[in-house]
Chain A
Amino acid sequence: MEYLYHRSSHSAYVLDEDITDTSEGLVYVADLKTSEIFTFGGSAAIIWCALEEPKNLEKIVEDVALAFEERPEVVRPGVESFLIDLVDRTLLEKSLAN
């Protein structure tokens, strides 16, 4: 079974490049139900930004590998772990691909 990951409807985010003149590649992600804000940098920020549209694990791994000029198998464990964490926090949702 293949799953697609997408941002939950109760999340919102701001890129630091949208609010400052100097960007550190950070993303501020809010859980609007729990009033928590998380700061994502590095691969976390890339994963979040990659989810402009729903994507499966392989596509997300591919995006991160490309960004860091690494082989997909190197980045895959970290990506998978992060996605599980975000789903647990309900910042992301997982649904079956059609």
Chain B
Amino acid sequence: MTEPQEVPLKARIHLSHAYFQKLTERNAIDILHIKGYAFGSDCYVAGRHSSDVDVLVRPSDVDRFMYLLVEDGWKIVTTFESGSIFNHASTVYHPMWGLADIHRYFPGLGYDDQAKAFEQLWSNRRYKEISHVPCAVPSLLDSRLLVVIHDGRNLAAGRTDTAYLRSFLSEDDWDQMRSRAQELEAELAFDAALSQIDMHRGEPYYLLWKSMSEDVPPYIGWLGRLQREKSLAGKAKVLKNIFIVNNDHLAMELGHQPSRAEVRAKFYGRFVALFKGGK
């Protein structure tokens, strides 16, 4: 057997896609391979590198899938709750396969019915060979739409993937994507990526996406996150997450478990940013 560090990262990631496909087939779990090498040159500029695998799991299969991963030697690096403000993905690590992001839903898509959103993608899926194993990926239209929606979480300067699609897709292609965004309840995120988010002023998730796609004071994002939660318990959790440092995230930023001093610095840094009014 070859030691992990002797296998080029790109090879490991390609093979990792095959690993996930076979694992899920053996266990009757539905996943779609997304982003990175799964979308490849259909959606991204040639030579774009990936450092991990992303998969989107049918919501009803998530718990069982995570159980199987842990049983098969994966370590959970960040949980769904600690991974992002959307609580949408868990980062896992395997000594041979490396890092993977397990998505239980895709932010910006089908806000209130994730099971329906997954089924809509699943029913239009195609199969793409990765490491000579057919892997389930979203249709070409859906793949490109997900790329744009993902860019909706970036500031304008960072939307290089959308800029690349703009460089060759026709007006008709963009009209098709908009129609599909409507079907998938993804128009807000779609328009955020196209710098047209203000068309959605007043909608439930407008502030949240505005805070990600434009340079606004941090409290706008906090308000957006609070607005997104419908229950008091959900809102209380958001408040807690806003003010309490996310140790998992900080560990990933720093590359090591944070010390108490580093956690304190991060905590107080939020208030400095708030008073300065920047990100």
Query: In this complex, what residue of B is CB-closest to A18?
Result: B14
The chain A residue with its CB closest to the CB of B2 is A39
The answer to whether the Cβ of B22 comes within 8 Å of any Cβ in the partner chain is: yes
Task: Flag whether A74 is at the interface (Cβ < 8 A).
Answer: no
Interface size class on chain B is 20 to 34
Given that A20-B8, A36-B96, A39-B2 are known contacts, is A14 also in contact with B14, CB under 8 Å in the complex?
A: yes
**A29–B10 CA distance with the chains assembled, in angstroms:** 13
Report how far A13 CA is from B19 CA in the complex, Å. Answer: 11
Q: Is A67 an interface residue (CB 8 A)?
A: no
Whether B35 sits at the interface, judged by CB under 8 Å, is no
Are B18 and A39 interface neighbours, CB within 8 A?
no
Q: Does A57 contact B (CB under 8 A)?
A: no
- Using Cβ atoms and an 8 Å threshold, which residues of chain A touch B12? 37
Do B97 and A35 have beta carbons less than 8 Å apart? yes
Query: Beyond A12-B132, A19-B8, A36-B96, is A30–B73 a contact (Cβ under 8 Å)?
Result: no
> Is B72 interfacial (CB 8 A cutoff)?
yes
Contact B8 A12 (CB under 8 A): no
> For chain A residues 68-96, which have a beta carbon within 8 Å of chain B?
none
Interface residues of A in 21-48 (CB under 8 A from B): 28, 30, 32-33, 35-39
Minimum CB–CB distance from A82 to chain B (whole Å) comes to 15
Task: Give B14's nearest chain A residue, CB to CB.
Answer: A14
Complex Cα spacing A82 to B96, Å: 24
B1 within 8 Å of A by Cβ? yes
Q: Which residues of A contact B (CB under 8 A)?
A: 9-10, 12-14, 16, 19-20, 28, 30, 32-33, 35-39
Closest 5 A/B residue pairs (Cβ):
A12-B18, A12-B131, A30-B15, A19-B10, A28-B11
